[in-house]
Amino acid sequence: MAILAGSLSNEQRRIYVEGRLKPGVILFVYCNFQNDPHNKFLVLISAVENLAFLINSEIAPFIALKPPEQQHQVLLRKKDYTFLDYDSYLNCFGVFKDFEKEDLINELCEDTERMVGELNETTKAEIIAEITRAKDITGNDKLIIHRAFGIT
């Protein structure tokens, strides 16, 4: 796909990127975290609502201290998501909102290979189960996530 995207005009590339920004697409993008900005895998839920889940190589220490039923992590196996270097965790403890759609589109237009994959249906079901129990995700955000994955 990179070869195809590389042959497109800027306008065509933008249309291509916007067409791929659907719920469940997995991106490797720059995240401007306050203390440690760096590239990170994330799962887009909604570019319109600025909702995503972060993927971590291990469970964050402050989450690991919680009882397992409150950790809200979904295991992503390398065998299912081959772009990963090792099994990782999709953090459903809270949603990531610190991005702008326009910045995301611009970054992906520069390098369309940053769109690395899509969630499978099993993982989507696991996410729904976790967010249903998660107390730190607002009712409105839960509704957006349910709708994004086709659950009403």
Contact at 8 Å (CB) between 72 and 130? Answer: yes
Domain of residue 63: give its range.
Answer: 2-148
How many domains are there within the chain? Answer: 1
Statement: the pTM of the whole predicted model exceeds 0.85: yes
**What is the pLDDT, as a whole number, of residue 60?**
86
Instruction: Report the 10 Å Cβ neighbour count for 149.
Output: 17
**What is the pLDDT, as a whole number, of residue 1?**
46
**What is the pLDDT, as a whole number, of residue 67?**
86
**What is the pLDDT, as a whole number, of residue 4?**
58
Listed in sequence order, the residues at least 6 apart from 105 whose beta carbon sits closer than 8 Å to its beta carbon are 14, 17, 18, 21, 47
- Cα gap 149→119, rounded to integer Å: 10
Q: Where are the beta strands (DSSP E) in the chain?
A: 25-31, 38-46, 51-56, 73-76, 88-91, 115-118
User: Mean pLDDT for each consecutive 10-residue tract of the chain (152 residues)?
Assistant: 67 94 96 84 93 93 86 95 96 91 94 96 95 92 94 74
Strands of the sheet with 51-56, listed across from one edge: 73-76, 88-91, 51-56, 38-46, 25-31, 115-118
